[in-house]
Amino acid sequence: MTIDLSFANSVPIIPAQNTQIQFVLVGAGGTGSCIIRELCKVVCQIQSVTKKQVSIRIVDFDTVESRNIPRQIFLPEEIGMNKAEALAIRYSSAFGISIKAIDQPFDCQMVNKLKQWNTLTVIIGCVDNAAARAEIERCLEYNSNTRSASLFWLDCGNAQTSGQVLLGTTTNFDLLRAFDRPERPNLCYQLPSPTSIHPELLVVQPEELSSSRLSCASILLRNYQALFVNQFAATIASQYILELTFTGGLRRFATYFDCKTMSCKSLYITPSNLSQFQN
């Protein structure tokens, strides 16, 4: 029997020094509507312990429909509202924090306009199409001239009963630059992008080619999704966010789960695990 020692040999990812944190939640559907509540909890923790300024933006151009309930976390009274606005109103009131809603398709320029000195930006991707992921990937160019990343992409995806959460910073991953000491590292500064780990995330699926692209709710009618699969993804992603921005010590960059078998497996930050993604 082979013993997996990758966690024991792993090192933490260290973001660039920051005094401000910006969370950009892209997609307010199944997983996005689940994760926003947990994200607010993290923001409250950060603000109660540190002096950092923290902001949340939710980006989604879709509207709430009756078929979104109860799988997506919306109320009957919110039917017809923009999804981002519905969540921003509800959770800003519940937690007493400022949340901005953007009722447009995500564009990389939305993040470029937010760039500030000494600021950590975390894009949380909860989208269901290749075009949106490609647009998020463009934002990683911001890290091209820095050693420690100040912009992270946390991508959440799921199928019928399983899914994955992936964290990355660059499409041009270099193992020698990623660690403080490649031979015996203590710290990690860069991670391969989610699309470097899984290039198929950028492959357009048949339902995306339709003249009226199907929503998650419509896909559900064709391909059964477990009722709690989005919450599984949201819970795992929330723990990533907590460790990356508040408690520190995040030592993994990919987590795979299956809510039917109740299994969960992570890839930990070690040179051997990351070497396969070097360009």
Mean pLDDT of all residues in 45-61 = 95
From its phi and psi, is residue 2 left (phi > 0), alpha (psi between -120 and 50) or beta?
A: beta
Check residues 195 and 222 and name the one with the higher pLDDT.
195
The residue with greater pLDDT, 219 or 15, is: 15
Give the largest CA-CA distance in the chain.
57
How high does pLDDT run on average in the chain?
90
Please tell me whether residue 276 adopts helix, strand or coil conformation. helix
Residue 83 maps to a domain: yes
Q: Please provide residue 8's backbone torsions phi and psi, each rounded to the nearest 5 degrees.
A: -65, -30
Lowest mean pLDDT among 57-66, 218-227, 233-242, 257-266: 218-227
Q: Is residue 13 part of a domain?
A: no
Count how many domains the chain has: 1
Does residue 3 lie within any of the structural domains? no
The values of phi and psi at residue 2, to 5°, are -90, 130
pTM: 0.92
Q: Which residues are bridge partners to 166 per DSSP?
A: 155, 254
Where would I find the H helices in the chain? 30-49, 83-95, 108-112, 130-138, 175-178, 194-197, 216-222, 229-242, 271-274
Q: Which residue range(s) make up the domain with 268?
A: 20-277
What CATH number should be reported for the domain holding residue 173? 3.40.50.720
- Assess if residue 4 is contained within a domain: no
Looking at residue 224, what is its pLDDT? Answer: 62
Peptide bond into 70 cis (omega under 30): yes
Which residue matches tokens 């899984």? 198
Does residue 204 lie in a domain region? Answer: yes
Whether 115 maps to a domain, the answer reads: yes
Q: Which of 40-49, 85-94, 142-151, 172-181 has the lowest mean pLDDT?
A: 142-151
- The DSSP secondary-structure symbol of 56 reads E
d(CA 202, CA 131): 7
Task: Return the percentage of the chain with pLDDT > 70, whole number.
Answer: 92
- Confidence bin at 94 (pLDDT 50/70/90): very high
Does some domain include residue 173?
Answer: yes
Please indicate, yes or no, if residue 137 is contained in any of the structural domains: yes
pLDDT tens column, 208-239: 665 445 565 555 555 567 888 999 999 999 99
